[in-house]
């Protein structure tokens, strides 16, 4: 059974940091192109970051809205990806989904992040 489980969400103050984790199982993680996608009522579905597999040098890509503030990383030994969120803003408030794709396309159940003072 395929599972992607996001953890680490919660309430965080503007300007602070938060780290999300996505632990996966049930598919070939090492070849997957892994992404973080967030969803809010204001912006809908928004792709924010992607990390490619080892065969493509773990290359990363970011949306302009998070570039320089968020960092995506992966640990193939743990079949997990991470999102380090620094200098968070109120507009980062959203449900954050982890997504794994190759010749498959799997999504986690999401984790809520609320940025508020």
Partner 1 sequence: EIVLTQSPTTMAASPGEKVTITCRASTSVSHMYWYQQKSGASPKAWIYETSKLASGVPDRFSGSGSGTSYSFTISSMETEDAATYYCHQWSSIPLTFGSGTKLEIK
Q: Which residues bind partner 1 (CB under 8 A)?
A: 35, 44-47, 50, 61, 63-64, 97, 105-110
Q: Minimum CB separation from partner 1 for residue 16, in Å? A: 25
By beta-carbon proximity to partner 1, the closer residue of 14 and 51 is 51
What does the alpha-carbon distance between residue 64 and residue 46 come to, in Å, rounded to a whole number? 11
Closer residue to partner 1 in complex, CB, 58/107: 107
DSSP string, 72-83: EEEEGGGTEEEE
Question: Taking the mean position of all CA atoms in its chain, how far away is CA 106?
Answer: 13
Shortest spacing between CB 2 and partner 1, in angstroms = 11
9 to 39, 56, 114: CA distances (angstroms): 14, 29, 8
**Minimum distance, C-beta of residue 117 to partner 1, in the bound complex (Å):** 28
Instruction: Report yes or no: 28 and 96 within 8 Å, Cβ to Cβ.
Output: no
Q: Which is nearer to partner 1, 55 or 103 (CB)?
A: 103
* Residue (47 or 58) nearer to partner 1, CB: 47
Exposed, middle or buried: residue 90 (CB in 10 Å: 0-12, 13-18, 19+)?
A: exposed
In angstroms, what is the minimal distance from the CB of 77 to partner 1? 26
């Amino acid at each position: 059974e395929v599972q992607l489980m996001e953890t680490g969400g919660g309430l965080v103050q503007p300007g602070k940091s938060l780290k999300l984790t996505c632990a996966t199982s049930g598919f070939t993680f090492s070849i997957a192109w892994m992404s973080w996608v967030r969803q809010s009522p204001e912006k809908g579905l928004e792709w924010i970051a992607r990390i490619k597999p080892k065969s493509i040098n773990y290359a990363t890509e970011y949306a302009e809205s998070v570039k320089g503030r968020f960092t995506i990383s992966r640990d193939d030994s743990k079949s997990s990806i991470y999102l380090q969120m620094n200098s968070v803003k109120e507009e980062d408030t959203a449900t954050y989904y982890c997504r794994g794709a190759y010749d498959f396309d799997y999504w986690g159940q999401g984790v809520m992040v609320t940025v508020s003072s």
